[in-house]
Amino acid sequence: MKSEIHPEYHMITVKMTDGSEFQTRSTWGAEGETLNLDVDPKSHPAWTGGNRNLIDTGGRIDRFNKRFGGLTLGKK
């Protein structure tokens, strides 16, 4: 392997949406930093059966609905 082309792995803390935390090795951030998740397997509809809504960070859903809300895709 070539030296100094691979990212450095270090320990970080991952904080889930329910407040639980775990430590893992990652190339994200710096040693000891905390990665706060907005969506994880405990809150994403793909894993929860669609019973929960996604968190709308920054009004993205509102902007999408304002821009494309009147669009219909039916045959005439």
Domain ranges of the chain: 1-39
Tell me how far apart the alpha carbons of residues 43 and 72 are, in angstroms, rounded to a whole number.
Answer: 29
Q: What is the pLDDT of residue 75?
A: 62
pLDDT of 56 strictly over 80? no
Condensed to tens digits (0 to 9), the pLDDT of residues 4-55 reads 888 899 999 999 989 999 999 999 999 999 999 988 887 777 777 765 555 6
Q: How far is CA 41 from CA 2, 14, 23, 37, 61, in A?
A: 36, 13, 17, 10, 20
> Which tokens hold the place of 73?
């895709």
> Which tokens hold the place of 11?
């320990």
Q: What is the pTM of this model?
A: 0.56
Q: What is the pLDDT of residue 39?
A: 84
CB under 8 Å, gap of 24 or more: what pairs does 52-56 form? 55/17
